[in-house]
Homo-oligomer: A and B are copies of this chain.
């Protein structure tokens, strides 16, 4: 049942032992939401615990601080930034049908909780939690401000994405006024790369090739390059997006040699080119703008097959 801000506050105020739930593979917004609300509820004298199917990624720890994980039987279960029970993950699946209050900002929210406070206009769920904490009358201390700023900054690509609104900036202004360490948070989230990451990016960008009149950019990473740089798989995450930033490039292809041989292919595209159609033709799949597949072949042969699969996409989009 959809409810308003005041009703959500009444539920929170009436509870004594609150269990907060974050979604699986937790990001800055679901964690920032849970920690900020948890800290606010503790200031109101309540017992609080956070549960999540996956551990908190280490990069968030210096920002979030610590929240006590008390053992108690909750009298209120609150899900934050979870649009659908499928996103609970295995570890907290038992609570799927027991959520008393869901606070979320996804328009796709499936209204699975007994009470749902949802605002799809909020760029980050932390923008909504900020309003909840204000309505609860809890003063925002620097620790709460850090948690809320983290969610807002990460869910908006540091205010770059089109979901950012005047309200988002007003919240950020207030949180900085309350002591949020915005520069540190942004540096940790957006500006910090390991030496290995810098090195593998450098090596990969040295392999760049352009095809189809420079509408398609191709880079590759071999096992030898990985070993030389010392980069891990997770440090390759941002790499595939880089060639798509190039002016005029509609399809960016990254080939990553796997340990057992063969190449993992990542395709990123700009509208209207359909990356998933390219990868489907090669036995893979994904989203319209980000898709992948695997080709067990040599580098040159894999490259040729991807370019052949991309050709009809680039031709058909040319006619539009």
Interface of A with B (CB < 8 Å)?
158-162, 164-170, 172-174, 176-177, 182-183, 186-187, 190-195, 198, 201-202, 205-206, 208, 210, 214, 244-248, 270-271
Contacts of A208 in B (CB 8 A): 198, 202
Which residue on B lies nearest to A210, using beta carbons?
B195
A158-B158, A195-B246 known; A173+B167 contact, CB < 8 A? yes
Which residue on B lies nearest to A167, using beta carbons?
B173
Which residue on B lies nearest to A243, using beta carbons?
B198
Contacts of A162 in B (CB 8 A): 182-183
CA distance A161 to B161 in the complex (A): 17
Question: CB < 8 Å: which of B164, B166, B192, B214 contacts A245?
Answer: B192
Question: CB < 8 Å: which of B169, B201, B244 contacts A172?
Answer: B169
CA distance A210 to B196 in the complex (A): 13
Question: CB < 8 Å: which of B164, B186, B206 contacts A183?
Answer: B164
Which residue on B lies nearest to A194, using beta carbons?
B247
Instruction: Find out whether the CB atom of A191 lies under 8 angstroms from the CB atom of B160.
Output: yes
Contacts of A168 in B (CB 8 A): 173
A198-B205, A246-B198 known; A172+B159 contact, CB < 8 A? yes
Copy count, this protein chain? 2
Among A169, A187, A190, A247, find the residue whose CB has the most chain B CB atoms closer than 10 A.
A169
Which 10 residue pairs across A and B have the least CB separation, nearest first?
A: A162-B183, A169-B173, A166-B176, A166-B173, A160-B186, A169-B172, A166-B177, A170-B173, A169-B169, A202-B205
CA distance A158 to B190 in the complex (A): 11
Instruction: Find out whether the CB atom of A247 lies under 8 angstroms from the CB atom of B192.
Output: yes
Which residue on B lies nearest to A205, using beta carbons?
B202
A158-B158, A169-B169 known; A270+B177 contact, CB < 8 A? no
Contacts of A160 in B (CB 8 A): 158, 183, 186-187, 190-191
Which residue on B lies nearest to A177, using beta carbons?
B166
Closest chain-B Cβ to A180's Cβ sits at a distance in Å of: 9
Which residue on B lies nearest to A174, using beta carbons?
B166
Contacts of A202 in B (CB 8 A): 202, 205-206, 208
